[in-house]
A and B are shown apart, each in its own frame.
Chain A
Amino acid sequence: DAGVIQSPRHEVTEMGQEVTLRCKPISGHNSLFWYRQTMMRGLELLIYFNNNVPIDDSGMPEDRFSAKMPNASFSTLKIQPSEPRDSAVYFCASSFSGGRSREQYFGPGTRLTVT
């Protein structure tokens, strides 16, 4: 299995521009998570999807952030307009929610720099 795939791996953009991060979860997994990691705040959960439906978006910082999961094999995290404080590494993770244990498998991340 290829694991969780994220693109792009690095993104540099100017303040005010729209940024779209992409994620392909592991085949067969029905839960998908978007996290953000910064030195100051560590690893934070932004949003959780189960069976393509957003279940918990309480971690999404503000209206500038939106996430979609149009099908079981693809999700996007969009920031519009981007700001310098959005600079961070964004991780996507997936898991299978059918069992009791809920181990999550993370992608390599997208390093976003907003200038």
Chain B
Amino acid sequence: DAKTTQPTSMDCAEGRAANLPCNHSTISGNEYVYWYRQIHSQGPQYIIHGLKNNETNEMASLIITEDRKSSTLILPHATLRDTAVYYCIVNSGGSNYKLTFGKGTLLTVNP
């Protein structure tokens, strides 16, 4: 699976949009981009995934660049409960079941 690069930490004001970047310049055509987060003392939580098109669900939006070498997870109105470590993972799906969790980005939402 392609390697991902994320900033170590980010801050965001409560109520503002949080934009978390991820670089995956070696991604191949059949690999998905997945986002998970882990709130302190909880299990990782699936947020969203995408292949080529931008995706939106009740939690977040995922913007993937046209060349697919980077993506941005957007939390439109961050709350204090969104403070967590956010992981960007690339995986081809199907028989490839392994999710490699790196160090992720610690997002701190400030009041």
Q: A52 at interface (Cβ–Cβ under 8 A)?
A: no
Using a CB–CB distance below 8 Å, which chain A residues touch chain B? 4, 31, 33, 42-43, 45, 48, 50, 55-56, 91, 93, 95, 97, 99-109
Check if B93 sits within 8 Å of A102, measured CB to CB: yes
In chain B, positions 27-54 with a C-beta closer than 8 Å to chain A are 32, 34, 42-46, 49
Interface of B, helix, strand, loop or mixed by DSSP? loop
Check if A42 sits within 8 Å of B32, measured CB to CB: no
Cα A109 to Cα B43 in complex, Å, equals: 6
Check if B93 sits within 8 Å of A101, measured CB to CB: yes
Check if B46 sits within 8 Å of A105, measured CB to CB: yes
Check if B98 sits within 8 Å of A45, measured CB to CB: yes
Check if B42 sits within 8 Å of A108, measured CB to CB: yes
Cα A37 to Cα B49 in complex, Å, equals: 23
